[in-house]
Structure 1
Amino acid sequence: MNRLPHETLPPTSLLASRRQAQQRHRILIVGGGAGGLELAARLGRTAGHRGEAEIVLVDAAATHLWKPLLHEIAAGTRYRQQHELDYRQQARLHGFRFHQGRLQSVERGPHRIWLAALCDDEGMEIAPRRSVAYDTLVLAVGGTDNDFGTPGARRHALSLNTPDDAEHFHRRLMALCARADLGTGRPVQVAIVGGGATGVELAAELCTAAPDIAAYGLRLQKLAQPLQLTLVEAGPRLLAALPEAVAERARRDLEQRGVTLRLGQQVAEVHRDALLLRDGSRIDADLVVWAAGVQGAEVLAQTDGLDLTPQRQLKVGPTLQTLRDEDVFALGDCASCRPDPDAPPVPPKAQAAHQQAALLAESLQRRLRGEPLPDFHYRERGNLVTLGRDRAVGALNAGGGSTIFGGAAARFGYWLLHRRHLAVLLGPLRTAALTLGECLSRRARPRVKLH
């Protein structure tokens, strides 16, 4: 039976046999983050539209959210529902197929992956554990925080890796603010572990949100600092991957807004209500967020013998093919790519995932034609870090040098990056309409999400 290009895949044995379903080469992309979804959209509009390949995207969630927005979702300064894109809508727009499911393992011999049983929020099984076959597999499952085995980190600290994580953090934060307003009358203490982009952006966004949250209370609005924020970083400075001038501007901004910085300090233990540092000091905390380190997702250990780094990332060559299997590619945070053996690996940044997705969109079409694949060359175009609702700081690489800039110009640059991502997925007209809708709706809702 022929299936229309926009139909979602059925969770049946049709998936388990690519040859039974149809004779087209199947490119299976696992992970619908910025890189994976952009790759599926580009391939769907080209190889999929021409009938050269069947493009299938798999993700555990039903919707996509640009990951750099997670700290704003967590602080409540953005509404998740306004920024989510439905994978099924994307599949219809771009001519690929979407199949919802969580990757459980890879079997390279029979060229298939296994997905865990899919259940709804009430535990009802929607689809059983099932397999999906592939001719070419692209793993784009992202990464997660590295707690370095710190006692209590997994049990007591929250993460910001997914939209659900961000919403869980926000609900906990609002509950603690309500308790403080109705009961204790003291500031809510938040400890953030990790002085990279996620930790710095979250701290700054919470500084922005705190007065708006307190304004709706009775006792919190009387406090000079309704949120007491402490950021702990093991290294000697913030934003170690960025130029020192950028890090210094971020440090001054956070300290001026009342954030306590503990630089050069390592966390020894995480308790329910405190952090214990290796120097013996204690930081009381109602809420702990772990945003230190990056490692591959746990499922990458179930990839049938593919080479992994100590950080659990897939080792890939210059063409982004895994070292042991030329039919398996990887991109983004889950991949460790070192195109130049004398250079460090490609950093786990959104811009790297965008560049890799653009390369693979061309490479996989060449592979279908039997042509040699180009090597990936990472181009560092600069970095931007948001410091709240209306400010940011960054470095722009151009003309062989680096230009440091901040304020509204940097914030506008950050906004443009999100628009560029949306333009790839929605096109310029839909992106313009969405932008206008965001501007109009902003006037009708509170400045911060209150529930």
Structure 2
Amino acid sequence: MSDPFRLVIVGGGIAGLALATRLGKSVGRSGKVDITLVDKGFAHVWKPMLHCFAAGTARNENDRITFISHAAGHHFRFCYGEISGLDRANRRITLAPLVEQDANNVLLEERYLDYDAIIFAIGSRANDFGTPGVLEHCIFLDNVVEANNFNERFRHALLQAYGRGTPLDIAIVGGGATGVQLAAELHKALDIGSLYNFTPKTPEMRVTLLEAGPRILPSFPEDVSEAAHKQLEELKISVRTGAMVSGVDEKGFILKDGTRVDAQFRVWAAGVKAPDVTRVMDGLDCARGGQLVVKPNLQTTEDEHIFAVGDCSFIQDAPLPPTAQVARQEAHHLAKHLPAWILNKTAIPPFKFNNRGAIVALGSYNGWGTFGDGKTFGGGALHGLSARLGHTALYRQHQIELYGLPRGLIACFTDWLDGFVRPSIRMD
């Protein structure tokens, strides 16, 4: 009996976990393919919800999927670690040493994993564009650890603001979906928190949203951008377009025109780039933003045994936006065609993206969406609740896909029940 084919998936985000789950049910169950999922965290969360975790309006304890238990139930293995190198000649990846942060002790030495094929699904990060001071003085929200760290600092700052009666200043760079939704979600957290009568007077929270371009939500139609801009201003969130940041210090942002925006919290949610590790991938071709360049069938241009999906990939002939929708469809494409490629050497056909549109939700205040044909249901009678429910439905669809229908519905029900037991925002 021949050894099973060794497939390694690096990254447990939307694309990576969906791919491991689907392949586990097919070729993993049969034992013909040994599937290993590698991630530097122990649990998966839906990345479009990170702004809710940061604001404390959602508790990631209820919304995360533990890799170890999920792998055990779906016929693949989980390996904790962060990739630090690739040896294409020997088909081997290197995992960085695991170091205990506080004590600086090495818990696990450098390790290696051999593969017959590897799929990179390592996502993306905000792009600082080399702006001085960003890395030293800004908060990023690219993963659940960063979102939790933000929330802890946010709660402590609110406690001080309540106790001292002083305002809390927050500035967010980036007028895309992440920045816009975070601004609204922070306002929602303060609105809910004020209902608990912590002190007689709710402190003032001054939020400023900085966007370098002429309008926020540039990927949406202009009428949606204008409506979202108006909604944020009604929430007393200052929206400044055409505001190019030239530097950051410990007190705030320095704009290109020489003015300043001082803030206690400085969040960077602008731009998208691949993790820096893609630059040291043993000669694989990278795009300008560090994404791995792939053919239309998602194989890298330099090595047919290496694939890339989601935000870390760049389709050479037809680049796609770094969205959850694209990542999910690419994962489904490979899950459908990889078994035949592995077992029968059947060529993988080109990936075809089906644009189903986009949705943005501003907390419980408003929402907008677009269909793939460009028609909006955001500027007229159907904006608001319908879009917000659509945004929630996308997350529930993701849960059901990973859990299966029975467990997915139970997860939805328990989340609903949890709302009757716990506060609506994280308070500890």
Residues 259 and 54 of structure 1: is their aligned pair in 2 closer, same or farther, counting only changes over 3 Å? Answer: same
- What whole-Å deviation, never above 9, does each CA across 1:160-212 have from its counterpart, x for those lacking one? 001010011111111111122222x2220000000001000101111111122
For the pair 1:346 / 2:324, whether they are aligned, the reply is no
Secondary structure at the residue paired with 1:23? Answer: coil
- What whole-Å deviation, never above 9, does each CA across 1:329-386 have from its counterpart, x for those lacking one? 001111111444xxxx110000000000000112211211111211011121110111
CA contact under 8 A between 1:28 and 1:134: conserved in structure 2? yes
Residues 401 and 213 of structure 1: is their aligned pair in 2 closer, same or farther, counting only changes over 3 Å? Answer: closer
* 1:305-384 correspondence runs (5 A): 305-340=283-318, 345-368=319-342, 369-384=344-359
Number of the residue aligned with 1:12: none
Give how far 1:121 is off: 5.8
Give how far 1:120 is off: 4.9
The AA in structure 1 aligned to 2:357 is G
Number of the residue aligned with 2:371: 396
Number of the residue aligned with 1:448: 425
Specify which of 8, 15, 25 is matched with residue 35 of structure 1.
15
Give how far 1:213 is off: 2.8
Number of the residue aligned with 1:167: 148
Give how far 1:411 is off: 1.1
Give how far 1:28 is off: 0.5
Secondary structure at the residue paired with 1:177? Answer: helix
- What whole-Å deviation, never above 9, does each CA across 1:21-71 have from its counterpart, x for those lacking one? x71111100000000000000100011112221111000111111101100
The AA in structure 1 aligned to 2:300 is T
Number of the residue aligned with 1:7: none
The AA in structure 2 aligned to 1:63 is A
Residues 319 and 222 of structure 1: is their aligned pair in 2 closer, same or farther, counting only changes over 3 Å? Answer: closer
Give how far 1:222 is off: 4.1
For the pair 1:147 / 2:128, whether they are aligned, the reply is yes
CA contact under 8 A between 1:245 and 1:404: conserved in structure 2? no
Number of the residue aligned with 1:87: 67
TM-score by length of 2: 0.95
- Cα separation, 1, equivalents of 2:50 and 2:366: 17
Percent identity (aligned):
38
- Cα separation, 2, equivalents of 1:222 and 1:314: 48
Give how far 1:403 is off: 2.9
Number of the residue aligned with 1:232: 210
- What whole-Å deviation, never above 9, does each CA across 1:293-315 have from its counterpart, x for those lacking one? 00000111120010111211111
- What whole-Å deviation, never above 9, does each CA across 1:129-152 have from its counterpart, x for those lacking one? 110000001001111111111111
Give how far 1:217 is off: 6.2
CA contact under 8 A between 1:211 and 1:221: conserved in structure 2? no
Of the structure 1 ranges 388-397 and 308-317, higher mean CA displacement relative to structure 2 is found in 388-397
- Cα separation, 2, equivalents of 1:142 and 1:377: 20
Instruction: Count the aligned residue pairs.
Output: 422
For the pair 1:200 / 2:176, whether they are aligned, the reply is no
* 1:18-57 correspondence runs (5 A): 23-57=3-37
CA contact under 8 A between 1:35 and 1:140: conserved in structure 2? yes
For the pair 1:407 / 2:384, whether they are aligned, the reply is yes
* 1:110-121 correspondence runs (5 A): 110-120=90-100
Gaps of 5+ in 2: none
Secondary structure at the residue paired with 1:105? Answer: strand
- Cα separation, 2, equivalents of 1:219 and 1:262: 32
Number of the residue aligned with 1:104: 84
* 1:265-284 correspondence runs (5 A): 265-284=243-262
The AA in structure 1 aligned to 2:247 is E
Gaps of 5+ in 1: 1-18
CA contact under 8 A between 1:181 and 1:220: conserved in structure 2? no
Specify which of 183, 190, 206 is matched with residue 170 of structure 2.
190
Residues 248 and 57 of structure 1: is their aligned pair in 2 closer, same or farther, counting only changes over 3 Å? Answer: same
- Cα separation, 1, equivalents of 2:90 and 2:47: 33
Give how far 1:215 is off: 4.3
Residues 290 and 220 of structure 1: is their aligned pair in 2 closer, same or farther, counting only changes over 3 Å? Answer: farther
Secondary structure at the residue paired with 2:142? Answer: coil
Specify which of 397, 402, 408 is matched with residue 420 of structure 1.
397
CA contact under 8 A between 2:6 and 2:116: conserved in structure 1? yes
- Cα separation, 1, equivalents of 2:376 and 2:260: 39
Give how far 1:214 is off: 3.8
CA contact under 8 A between 2:15 and 2:328: conserved in structure 1? yes
CA contact under 8 A between 1:240 and 1:247: conserved in structure 2? yes
Secondary structure at the residue paired with 2:377? Answer: strand
- Cα separation, 2, equivalents of 1:176 and 1:217: 17
The AA in structure 2 aligned to 1:374 is P
Specify which of 123, 138, 144 is matched with residue 119 of structure 2.
138
- What whole-Å deviation, never above 9, does each CA across 1:266-299 have from its counterpart, x for those lacking one? 0111121211111111112010000000000011
The AA in structure 2 aligned to 1:350 is A
Specify which of 376, 388, 408 is matched with residue 431 of structure 1.
408
Number of the residue aligned with 1:302: 280
Secondary structure at the residue paired with 2:320? Answer: coil
- Cα separation, 1, equivalents of 2:395 and 2:137: 32
The AA in structure 2 aligned to 1:410 is A
CA contact under 8 A between 2:134 and 2:247: conserved in structure 1? yes
Secondary structure at the residue paired with 2:282? Answer: coil
CA contact under 8 A between 2:162 and 2:202: conserved in structure 1? no
- Cα separation, 1, equivalents of 2:241 and 2:252: 17
